Amino acid sequence: MRVNRKILLHAVVRHDEYFDSVSEAITVVAVVPTKEKALREVARLNDLKAGKRSSYFWTPAKYYPDGRGADATP
């Protein structure tokens, strides 16, 4: 079995401007399989929440279904 097999996904992320702490201000709201779906969801949420002191963006994400490094299943 191949170790470190990875699947590329796309995380939709919300940034809330009203929190002082970065760890509180950033939330992953969805994980989708394609960049196109991420772009559509970001546009939809930014339109829906306009003026709410929150903004949405996407970022690539990796999923390792077999674990990684020492945690990888042989």
**Ordered per-residue pLDDT tens for the chain, 74 residues:** 556 789 999 999 999 999 999 889 999 999 999 999 999 999 999 999 998 999 999 999 999 988 886 666 66
What are 5's two structure tokens?
């097999």
pLDDT (0 to 100) of residue 73: 62
Residue 4, CB half-sphere, CA atoms under 13 Å: how many?
A: 2
Q: Residue 20 in 3-state DSSP? A: coil
pLDDT (0 to 100) of residue 13: 98
Residue 41 parent element (H or E): helix 35-48
Question: pTM value?
Answer: 0.83
pLDDT (0 to 100) of residue 48: 96
Distance from CA of residue 33 to its chain's centroid? 11
pLDDT (0 to 100) of residue 63: 93
